[in-house]
Structure 1
Amino acid sequence: MRVAVIGGGGREHALVWKLSKSPQVDMIYALPGNGGIGEIAECVDIKTDEIEEILRFVKDVDYVIVGPEVPLSLGLVDLVGKHKGFGPTRDAALVESSKAFAKDLMKKTGLPTADFDICRVREEALLKIRGKKYPLVIKASGLAAGKGAFVVENESDAREKIEKLMVEKILGEAGKEIVIEDFLRGEEVSVLAFTDGKHFLPLIPSQDHKRLLDGDKGPNTGGMGAYAPVPFLSDEDVEKIIDRIFEPAVYGLKKGGIEYKGVLYAGLMITDDGPKVLEFNVRFGDPETQAIIPLMESDLMELILATIEGRLGEMRINFNAGYSTCVVLASSGYPGKYEKGKEITGFEDVDDAIIFHAGTKRVGGRFLTNGGRVLGVTATGDKLEDSIEKAYGEAEKIHFDGVYMRRDIGNRGVVG
Structure 2
Amino acid sequence: MKVLVIGSGGREHALVWKLAESPRVDKIFCAPGNAGIAQIAECVPIAVEAVEQLADFVQREGVDLTVVGPEAALLSGVVDEFEKRGLRIFGPRREAALIEGSKSFAKDLMMELGVPTAKYQTFTQMEPALQYIREQGAPIVVKADGLAAGKGVIVAQTVTEAEDAVRSIMEAKEFGEAGSQVVIEEFLAGEEATVLAFVDGQTVRLMVPSQDHKQVFDGDKGPNTGGMGTYAPVSKVSAKLLKEVETTIIRPVVDGLAAKGTPYKGVLYAGLMLTAQGPKVIEFNARFGDPETQVVLPLLENDLVEVAEAVIEGRLGEVELSWKNGAAVCVILAAQGYPGSYRKGDVITGLDHLPEQVAVFHAGTAAKDGQLVTNGGRVLGVTGFGHDLKAAKEAAYRGVEAIHFEGMHYRTDISDKAFRS
TM range (shorter): over 0.9
Equivalent position of 2:249 in the other structure: 245
Give the AA of the match of 1:293.
Answer: L
Equivalent position of 1:166 in the other structure: 170
Partners of 2:279 and 2:127 in 1: how far apart?
33
Corresponding position: 1:86 with 2:90: yes
Change (3 A) 1:51 1:83: closer
Partners of 1:29 and 1:308 in 2: how far apart?
19
Q: State the Cα deviation string for residues 306-345 of structure 1 (Å, max 9, x = none).
A: 0000000010111111110000111010111111111111
Q: Determine helix, strand or coil for the equivalent of 1:92.
A: helix
Partners of 1:414 and 1:291 in 2: how far apart?
18
Equivalent position of 2:120 in the other structure: 116
- CA root-mean-square deviation: 1.1
Corresponding position: 1:106 with 2:145: no
Equivalent position of 2:144 in the other structure: 140
5 Å matches for 1:261-410?
261-352=265-356, 353-410=358-415
Equivalent position of 2:134 in the other structure: 130
Q: State the Cα deviation string for residues 87-115 of structure 1 (Å, max 9, x = none).
A: 00000000000000000000000000110
Q: Structure 1-normalised TM-score?
A: 0.98
Shift of 1:411: 0.3
Partners of 2:132 and 2:147 in 1: how far apart?
23
Check whether the contact 1:194–1:264 (CA below 8 A) recurs between aligned residues: yes
Partners of 2:280 and 2:23 in 1: how far apart?
39
Check whether the contact 2:214–2:228 (CA below 8 A) recurs between aligned residues: yes
Equivalent position of 2:48 in the other structure: 48
293-302 or 151-160, which deviates more: 151-160
151-160 or 104-113, which deviates more: 151-160
Shift of 1:390: 1.1
Equivalent position of 1:15 in the other structure: 15
Equivalent position of 1:73 in the other structure: 75
Partners of 2:283 and 2:172 in 1: how far apart?
25
Partners of 1:58 and 1:121 in 2: how far apart?
43
Q: Determine helix, strand or coil for the equivalent of 1:310.
A: coil
Check whether the contact 2:231–2:295 (CA below 8 A) recurs between aligned residues: yes
Q: Determine helix, strand or coil for the equivalent of 2:67.
A: strand
Partners of 2:42 and 2:351 in 1: how far apart?
21
Give the AA of the match of 1:212.
Answer: V
5 Å matches for 1:139-218?
139-218=143-222
Partners of 1:91 and 1:123 in 2: how far apart?
30
Shift of 1:364: 4.2
Give the AA of the match of 2:14.
Answer: A
Partners of 1:156 and 1:54 in 2: how far apart?
45
Check whether the contact 2:154–2:162 (CA below 8 A) recurs between aligned residues: no
Q: State the Cα deviation string for residues 173-196 of structure 1 (Å, max 9, x = none).
A: 001101000000001000000000
Shift of 1:214: 0.3
The percent identity for this pair of structures is 52
Unaligned runs of 5+ in 1: none
Check whether the contact 1:384–1:414 (CA below 8 A) recurs between aligned residues: no
Shift of 1:73: 0.6
Change (3 A) 1:406 1:140: same
Aligned residues: 416
Partners of 1:84 and 1:383 in 2: how far apart?
37
Q: Determine helix, strand or coil for the equivalent of 2:95.
A: coil
Partners of 1:212 and 1:309 in 2: how far apart?
40
Check whether the contact 2:355–2:398 (CA below 8 A) recurs between aligned residues: no
Check whether the contact 2:139–2:159 (CA below 8 A) recurs between aligned residues: no
Shift of 1:221: 0.5
Check whether the contact 1:192–1:284 (CA below 8 A) recurs between aligned residues: yes
Q: Determine helix, strand or coil for the equivalent of 1:12.
A: helix
226-235 or 75-84, which deviates more: 75-84
Partners of 1:156 and 1:401 in 2: how far apart?
36
Shift of 1:156: 2.1
5 Å matches for 1:222-233?
222-233=226-237
Shift of 1:207: 0.1
Check whether the contact 1:377–1:394 (CA below 8 A) recurs between aligned residues: yes
Shift of 1:415: 4.6
